[in-house]
């Protein structure tokens, strides 16, 4: 078994409340994938592990056969129970080496980085620990209240240049801003409200993907 292919072009991070509740997360994720989303991360810091597994499994089941991987935010210990393809950790979550040990060699692992020091620390990790980096927040955002200060496009370009891994930008990315990212060299855009908070997630994903492709 080998790690699944990971296309960062349009990376959906779910928000349970924005989706309309736990029962709607899988529907939103599937609609987004039908519109062109290439990767889905299930995120809900507010629910307990039992509810989180239920939500994550519903997303995994909804995307069965699409070839689009499902990652879990932070909760590496639940990847197996959810049947997910991997996890994504932040700077204050489980350290990447321990996360990789829990995941084994065949699942995906992403890491959030906000500074060049974070990227340099990631480069010092054992080979094979990580698959990609999430960089940001790039723009001001309201989805994650405890997020770092927005870095801007120039800083994003510096982080991309320092990374040996594919990178996805996150933070305040909207239909009007996604095209701005192309010049930084980043491999894709991660969005939350730009899909989850819209009345038609499929249409929103398709529009974001079109803007990205046009800018590239």
Using omega within 30 degrees of 0 as the cis cutoff, is the peptide bond preceding 140 cis? no
| Whole-structure pTM value | 0.95
Angle of helix 153-162 versus helix 116-123 axis, rounded to 10: 10
> What digits encode the pLDDT tens for the residues 73-85?
999 999 999 999 9
> Mean pLDDT score of the chain, rounded to an integer?
95
pLDDT above 80 for 141: no
Instruction: Return d(Cα 145, Cα 5) in angstroms, integer.
Output: 31
Determine the pLDDT at residue 58.
98
> What digits encode the pLDDT tens for the residues 160-210?
999 999 999 999 999 999 999 999 999 999 999 999 999 999 999 999 999
Determine the pLDDT at residue 147.
63
Tokens of 210: 């079109």
pLDDT above 90 for 151: no
> What digits encode the pLDDT tens for the residues 72-115?
999 999 999 999 999 999 999 999 999 999 999 999 999 999 99
Determine the pLDDT at residue 144.
61
What are the structural domain ranges in the chain? 10-215
Q: Which CATH class is domain 10-215?
A: alpha beta
Q: Which long-range contacts (CB under 8 A, 24 or more apart) does 54-58 make?
A: 54/22, 55/16, 55/22, 55/25, 55/26, 56/82, 56/83, 56/84, 57/81, 57/82, 57/83, 58/25, 58/26
At 150, the pLDDT band (50, 70, 90 cuts) reads confident
């Amino acid at each position: 078994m080998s790690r699944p292919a990971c296309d960062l072009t349009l990376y959906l991070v779910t928000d349970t409340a924005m989706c309309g509740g736990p029962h709607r997360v899988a529907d939103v994720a599937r609609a987004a994938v039908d519109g062109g989303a290439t990767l889905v991360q299930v995120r809900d810091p507010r629910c307990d592990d039992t509810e989180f597994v239920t939500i994550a499994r519903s997303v995994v089941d909804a995307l069965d056969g699409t070839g689009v991987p499902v990652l879990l935010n932070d909760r590496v210990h639940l990847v197996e129970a959810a049947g997910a393809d991997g996890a994504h950790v932040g700077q204050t979550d489980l350290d990447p080496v321990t996360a990789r040990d829990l995941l084994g060699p065949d699942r995906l692992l992403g890491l959030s980085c906000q500074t060049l020091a974070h990227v340099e620390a990631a480069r010092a990790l054992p080979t094979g620990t990580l698959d990609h980096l999430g960089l940001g927040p790039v723009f001001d955002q309201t989805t994650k209240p405890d997020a770092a200060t927005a870095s801007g496009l120039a800083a994003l370009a510096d982080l991309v240049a320092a990374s040996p891994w594919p990178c996805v930008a996150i933070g305040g990315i909207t239909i009007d801003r996604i095209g701005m990212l192309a010049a930084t060299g980043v491999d894709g855009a991660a969005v939350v409200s730009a899909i989850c908070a819209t009345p038609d997630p499929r249409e929103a994903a398709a529009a974001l993907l079109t803007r990205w492709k046009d800018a590239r």
